[in-house]
Amino acid sequence: MSDTPTILDTLQAGDAGALREHLERDPAAAAFRDRNGISVLMHCLYRGREDLAALVEEALQEQGVALDIFEAAARGRTERLTDLLHEDPSLSAAVSADGFGVLHLAAYFGHEDTVRAALAAGCPVSIVSHNAMALQPIHSAAAAGHLEILRLLLEAGADVNATQAGGFSALHSAASHGDAEMVRVLLEKGASPRLATDDGLSARHFAAEGGHQEVLELLEAALQT
């Protein structure tokens, strides 16, 4: 086995300078994918390193390598995503190597315009991820705190009470984060404050656990109606 560090080894260190040097030494490494098919660009984004993702995307452009549909969704490259969906409409329901659809990624990474384009192109608003999380895009938006995207998904027909693995709903997520405005919107759209997880925990439990008083008041008022 070679002792030469891979691009993922360099990425793991989180050093932008080292990553830039690696890409200058081996530009083709920007297009590397791990054994599960996850690209370097997605590894950067999953680590929350927008700066590293920008370096990798620049290297890909220099190599003439275009983003795939999932990278385009995660990076908010709406024009690229729209072109790909126009060329191959079946991509609207495709899932990535780690099980996420276009809307999961665009919603989680907070790209409102990309979400709009994906919905307009027919990407299913209630697509369930093909992994252990079994989540829908509404859960992605709630987990990352993107209220306007959550509104878009609800307007497009997302089930406000949809649950992911473990029975967690968007309301549970918003309550645990203390996101009062999101909780308010979800309740107005019909989210049930009585919905419990598989472990029997309610949104009120998560709000109380986190000490989120405003959210607690919203939920208690909803429980009385």
Q: Is the pLDDT of residue 225 over 90?
A: no
User: 131: which DSSP letter?
Assistant: S
SS3 59: helix
Q: Is the pLDDT of residue 5 over 90?
A: no
Q: Which residues contact 51 (CB under 8 A, 6 or more apart)?
A: 16
Task: Tally the residues of the chain.
Answer: 225
Q: How confident is the model at residue 121 (pLDDT cuts 50, 70, 90)?
A: very high
Residue 20 burial by Cβ neighbours in a 10 Å radius (0-12, 13-18, 19+): middle
Q: Is the pLDDT of residue 61 over 80?
A: yes
The position carrying tokens 């938006």 is 141
Across the range 142-163, mean pLDDT stands at: 98
Round to whole Å and give the CA distance between 97 and 90. Answer: 16
Residue 89: CB atoms within 10 Å: 12
Give the 3-state DSSP-derived string for 53-99, with helices as H, strands as E and coil as C.
HHHHHHHHHHHCCCCCHHHHHHHCCHHHHHHHHHHCHHHHHCECCCC
Across the range 85-113, mean pLDDT stands at: 98
Specify the pLDDT at position 2.
Answer: 44
CB 104 within 8 A of CB 134: no
Start-to-end CA span in the chain (Å): 65
Q: Is the pLDDT of residue 62 over 60?
A: yes
